Amino acid sequence: MAKSTLSAPVAVKQPHVMTHHQHSRCDNYYWMRDDERQDPKIIAHLEAENAYCDAQMSPYQVLEQDLFTELKGRIVKDDSTVPVKDGAYWYSSEISGEEEFARYYRADDGHATNKQLLLDSNTLAQEHEYYDLGEFSISPNDQLLSYSEDTDSRRIYTIRFKDLTTNTLLDDVLENTEGQAVWANDNKTVFYVKKDLKTLLGSQVYRHVLGTSQADDVLVFEEQDDSFFMGLGKSRDESLIMLDLEATETSDTWVLDANNCHGEFVQLCPRVKGHEYDADKLGDTYYIVTNWQAKNFRLMTANNTTIHQQALWQELIAHRDDVMLECVELFNEFKVVTEREKGQIRFVVYQADGSSYPLEFNDACYYAGLGENPEPDSNKARLYYSSLTTPGSLLEFDLATGQSTVLKQQKVLGDFDSTLYQAERIFIKARDGVEVPVSLVYRKDMFGKNSQNPMLLNGYGAYGITFDASFSVNALSLLDRGFVYAIAHIRGSEMLGRDWYEQGKKAHKQNTFNDFVDVTQALVQQGYAHADKVFASGASAGGLLMGAVANQAPHLYKGICCQVPFLDVLTTMLDESIPLTTNEYDEWGNPNDVDAYKTILAYSPYDNIRAQDYPNILVTTGFHDSQVQYWEPMKWVAKLRELKTNNNLLLFKTDMDAGHGGASGRFNRLKEEALELAFFIGLLQDKK
């Protein structure tokens, strides 16, 4: 890739020594942290990095613009969702023309012949550089609407209320919340979680009565353990307000009678470290997906009398060593259970008489998930389905027969033809003998399995989150240029069950990085990619993966993209003042313990930069990121510039208005995607 004459920014070094467990580290770029985000030196340095990135990419401005046009050209500009029935109304959304955001409607019937505009996100967003409509919910009597919005990308939401009979906003405004407003059944009381503005954790539940000031709201629950996330919802039968507390390895659920909003939250069962469960209620029965004496989870039931004593729960679906039970959707006459076996999702429908049958799909590897199914008395269930070659589809299954109907499939404009592409699911043996699943797709007429194709390999590998093989319209820009697009389902996800996750966390974290490196090498050896044309990409915890493999196996990759990457693991996990740190101890380990300290120190990308050749690297972040603070990639880039021994590109782009989720709006996000694609494709065009 051609180089600009503009010099790379060189950061000032200010030694900062940190000592733990009789071990000292010197961080020359610790000064880059500014919690207030107002330091002119830091802003100037980030702007200089942005200018340098733009200058280095300037030879490919035409390519980048062409890619943006290409990406945008595949999107249906005038689009709408399939209406879904919830109570007396059918709800849908629409987006048109050059609009970045959707408009939300309801109607008396499923054809939206008499629709009412509920919210226009474009109008709400027009005065803001960043806008995210969080959640909106309708009161039980269908007359009031609550909605939340974030205008600075910190995931701190303001909740507002609208009278749908008069189409006017109420005076009530709830600030500094998680974004959820859950209605009690009296239609005038809501419960919400308030955020701590320093830790960005929600630890307090408040009760608000419409027509009163937020200052008068009543604190009804407070969690003292800051390793828990907090969320509010309603039971399937809407009889209970449910408060879910979730740490990485422990769950705790409290409930309140939705008809007695001045009552107290009651704990469902005693909190036990290591017990993870998800409870719901329909009628007189609680359904609990639990890992109690069941590593891969099982489904149990209880009633109002037995729910508080685990020993009295009844087993409905037993634990299986080779099947992960993920969740259950409750209907009056059916239960739809989501399971995963050998890495693949499946759905099993259980009927009232106890019989069951699976829902069938044809692709070798795919993603499927339950859609919106707000009506428990329905005999139909909506599912979202997608594969590497099949655009996203909304399916509706008749639960009595298993027959399916395609309600809508994502349209891909242009000359897209799914028959041109081939997907595969293969298993690759890692260095310790474990077989790692890999999903990949390529264009058949541009692939020969002869070690000639470029390849982009994606990975994540943390929190038990599984990145399934779903359709990516943006990946077509690579596939149509001969790329193989692959996903390494490395340890740290739950692709192969709970043990797969546990073997990629804390003391076993190095397995995640080894898996990715071993998959890279095997794909080259098996002819899927040219050794000199391998690219890798990961975001957030996947960015940590990218940072680790860049240190440990830099020679394998021509280019790497790190998006909002978690790179300074040790320093962050030692600092409880940084938002979300304490929630992460069960994932990475608590480095206040010497063994965890040593484990993290051994792989932390920032601590392990050394004098060696590095791949071409593009780093992107958001200045207002509340999950991975901007200074982590900023410091990492500065240290890399200091120590790396070759002239490969090192580019750093900061969106000064965005946070962890990137730019807001459907087209604005494509600009970020076009930059990354131009980086990879441009490197291939470079003859150096």
Q: Are 140 and 183 in contact (CB under 8 A)?
A: yes
Question: In what helix (H) or strand (E) does residue 563 lie, and over which residues does it extend?
Answer: strand 559-563
Q: Are 314 and 330 in contact (CB under 8 A)?
A: no
Point out the catalytic residue in the list 153, 625, 626, 655: 625
Rounded-to-integer distance, Cα 238 and Cα 225, Å: 28
Rounded-to-integer distance, Cα 243 and Cα 76, Å: 39
The tokens for 408 are 């809508």
Rounded-to-integer distance, Cα 154 and Cα 173, Å: 18
* Sign, Cα dihedral of 169, 172, 176, 179: negative
Q: Is 171 helix (H, G, I), strand (E, B) or coil?
A: strand
Is residue 109 part of the annotated active site? The answer reads no
Which whole-number Å values give the CA distances from 384 to 331, 343, 408, 522, in the listed order? 18, 18, 10, 32
Which whole-number Å values give the CA distances from 50 to 56, 318, 564, in the listed order? 10, 55, 15
> What is the signed CA dihedral for 583, 586, 587, 591, rounded to 10 degrees?
90
Q: Is 130 helix (H, G, I), strand (E, B) or coil?
A: coil
Question: In what helix (H) or strand (E) does residue 685 lie, and over which residues does it extend?
Answer: helix 668-685
Could you give phi then psi for residue 406, rounded to 5 degrees?
-85, 110
Is residue 540 part of the annotated active site? The answer reads yes
Point out the catalytic residue in the list 45, 208, 489, 660: 660
The b-or-e profile of 657-688 (16+ CB within 10 A means b, else e) is bbbbbbbbbbeebbbbbbbbbbbbbbbbeeee
Could you give phi then psi for residue 171, rounded to 5 degrees?
-75, -20
CA nearest to 380, candidates 393, 394, 362:
394
Per the listing, tokens 């707000």 go with 374
The tokens for 550 are 């860049």
Per the listing, tokens 């101890």 go with 585
Rounded-to-integer distance, Cα 510 and Cα 385, Å: 33
Is residue 625 part of the annotated active site? The answer reads yes
Q: Are 236 and 330 in contact (CB under 8 A)?
A: yes
Amino acid, single-letter form, for residue 149: E
The tokens for 685 are 């065009």
The tokens for 619 are 């780093």
Point out the catalytic residue in the list 540, 604, 626, 664: 540
Residues with a catalytic annotation lie at 540, 625, 660
